[in-house]
Amino acid sequence: MLKKSLLMAIGASIFCIGMILFPLPLPLGLPTMLVGLAIMFKASDSVKRKVIRWSDKNHHTRKAWQKVRDYRRRKKA
């Protein structure tokens, strides 16, 4: 339980830092937000459900997640 709480706190912090960096001219915000979201995704089933529900509603998001899944599967094989 402590591990999941710690991962959620770290992921949320990194995600918030990414939101702060997003409007800057350097492309650092979006990758930072994705790293934070990935950490939260690992730690919480409710975050997984929300992201999956959100991605099902948006066609472009679903395609982006599919590319990530395909890349990870190719990397494992």
Give 25-70 pLDDT, tens digit per residue: 888 888 898 899 888 888 888 888 887 787 777 777 777 778 888 8
Residue 4 shares a structural domain with residue 33: yes
The residue type of 54 is W
Domain of 1 in residue numbering reads as 1-43
Confidence of residue 17 (pLDDT cuts 50, 70, 90): very high
How many structural domains comprise the chain? Answer: 2
Residue 38 shares a structural domain with residue 49: no
DSSP-derived secondary structure for 3-48: HHHHHHHHHHHHHHHHHHHTTSSSTTHHHHHHHHHHHHHHH-HHHH
Q: Confirm if 16 and 38 have CB atoms less than 8 A apart.
A: no
Residue 36 shares a structural domain with residue 53: no
